[in-house]
Amino acid sequence: MNPSEPMKQVDEKTQKKIDKATKDLAKDQQQLLKDNETLLKDQAKFDKQKAQGKLSPNDIQKTEKKLRKSTDDIGKLKERIAKNEAFLNPYKQ
C-alpha cells in the first residue's frame, strides 16, 4: 500500500476483527516476554541444581519435561503473533 493512499475502508465486522487481533497481539507479546523470562530463570535454576548434584533422576525428567513444555508454549505464542501480524499488515497505515 502506498503511504499517500487512504487506509482501506472496512466494514463493522472487519473492524471488530482488527480490534480483537490488535488486542490479542499485544497480550500475546506481553505473554511471550514473560514466558521467555520464566524459561530462562527455570533453565538457570535447573542447570545450577544439576551441576551441584541436588537432583534425582526423577527430578531431572520432570524438570526437562517442564522446560520442553515451556519451549513448545513459546513456539505456539510466536505462531499466534505471526498470524495476527499477518492479518493486521494490510490494514496498517
**Residue-averaged pLDDT of the chain:** 90
pLDDT at 71 over 80: yes
Least trusted range by pLDDT, from 7-11, 24-28, 49-53, 73-77: 7-11
DSSP state of 77: H
d(CA 75, CA 80): 9
Could you tell me the pLDDT band of residue 93, with boundaries at 50, 70 and 90?
low
Helix 57-88 × helix 12-52 angle, to 10°: 160
The residue extents of the domains of the chain are 32-91
Report which secondary-structure segment, H or E, holds 15: helix 12-52
2-32 confidence digits (pLDDT tens): 444 445 677 899 999 999 999 999 999 999 9
